[in-house]
Structure 1
């Protein structure tokens, strides 16, 4: 039970930081890959962040599901 609570906490923190990174503006965002609206889009740097988030979430699930 404690392992699942820790996994949920780590997942929430990872998701929160990912949200902040994707919605923020940085000097080296990279080119826009997908336009979401006239003023918003998905940059090349955002794809790197989302890929890292997905790998980290898979690692959390893997650590949580495996038995000792």
Structure 2
């Protein structure tokens, strides 16, 4: 669902989707911190998310819009 939405709106204003993609990343980091207690520290959660992003580039549709995961702020 997100992939289709991103494909549609990226045709018209792709620069407007970058803040949305970064916000989705922030929600993912928050979810990681709550789900895995050993990753409760923000630095550890960000490191894990970067590792996943490097390993699985196409796991989430919005990752093709963001150059790095390191710019996530939760």
| Alignment TM class, shorter chain as reference | 0.3 to 0.5
Q: Determine which structure has the larger strand proportion and give its number.
A: 1
Using structure 2 for the length normalisation, give the TM-score.
0.37
Please report the TM-score for the alignment, with normalisation by the length of structure 1.
Answer: 0.39
Which is helix-richer, 1 or 2? 2
Larger radius of gyration: 1
